[in-house]
């Protein structure tokens, strides 16, 4: 009889210890989950708080900078030592908020002068931007829409002449061509005499059908 009682007590002790360890495991695992969630949250916050941007061109100390998320282009310029004497920010949005992997290119007066005079395309031309850079995230957005583009099927002689490189003679040729066959695409403009690939590249972002 005594042996049976000892056995029962032993079983109860085992059950109690088992329950104790089970509860401890559950509680500790819960704490671990909370800890893991906190680590994830902290990491996410850190990633959101800091971004890396690459600033090039006419600044005193070009390079890659880690900056606070929400900083402006002007803040990054200051971190890069400020503008050089030859810098031109006419086409740069200094108030633009920076983002991760952003490239900021500060142009020189000579680069802007050459671009405005002859539409020379540097290796960083931006086709849909108001400044000559394909990689420049600091460009002033062009905001060009189909409503502001020249419709080559309906534009007047004067409207066509506002396009870069299109004088009166070429404008008349465009009108003569479309009267016979309306343009089905803007690329078809290259079928007009005197308008080749070079001329088309200058105006393709400013025309529509």
The region that residue 108 occupies, defined by phi over 0 for left and psi between -120 and 50 for alpha, beta otherwise, is beta
Average pLDDT over residues 11-16: 76
**Mean pLDDT of all residues in 117-128:** 47
**CATH 1.10.150.320 residue ranges for the chain:** 150-208
More confident residue, 140 or 72: 72
Taking residues 172-192, what's their average pLDDT?
90
> Among all chains, which residue has been given the structure tokens 């671009």?
115
Q: CA nearest 91: which of 149, 60, 137, 150?
A: 137
pLDDT given at position 174:
92
- 146 by DSSP, 3-state: which? coil
Under DSSP, is residue 63 helix (H, G, I), strand (E, B) or coil? strand
The architecture in CATH of the region 150-208 reads Orthogonal Bundle (1.10)
Q: Assign a CATH topology to domain 49-118.
A: Ubiquitin-like (UB roll) (3.10.20)
- CATH 3.10.20.600 residue ranges for the chain: 49-118
Q: Does the pLDDT at position 179 exceed 80?
A: yes
């Amino acid at each position: 009889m005594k042996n049976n009682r000892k056995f029962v007590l032993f079983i109860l002790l085992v059950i109690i210890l088992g329950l104790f360890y089970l509860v401890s495991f559950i509680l500790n695992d819960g704490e671990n989950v909370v800890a893991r969630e906190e680590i994830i949250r902290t990491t996410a916050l850190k990633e959101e708080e800091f971004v890396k941007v690459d600033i090039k061109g006419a600044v005193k100390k070009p390079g890659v900078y880690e900056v606070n998320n929400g900083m402006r282009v002007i803040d990054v310029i200051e971190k890069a030592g400020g503008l050089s004497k030859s810098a031109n920010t006419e086409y740069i949005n200094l108030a633009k908020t920076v983002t991760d992997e952003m490239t900021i290119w500060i142009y020189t007066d000579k680069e802007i002068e050459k671009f405005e005079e002859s539409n020379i395309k540097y290796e960083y031309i931006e086709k849909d931007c108001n400044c000559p850079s394909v990689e420049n995230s600091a460009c002033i957005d062009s905001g060009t829409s189909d409503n502001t583009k020249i419709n080559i099927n309906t534009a007047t002689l004067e409207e066509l002449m506002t396009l870069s490189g299109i004088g009166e003679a070429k404008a008349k040729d465009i009108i003569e061509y479309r009267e016979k066959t309306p343009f089905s695409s803007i690329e078809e403009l290259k079928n007009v005499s005197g308008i080749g690939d070079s001329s088309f590249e200058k105006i393709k972002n400013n025309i529509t059908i």
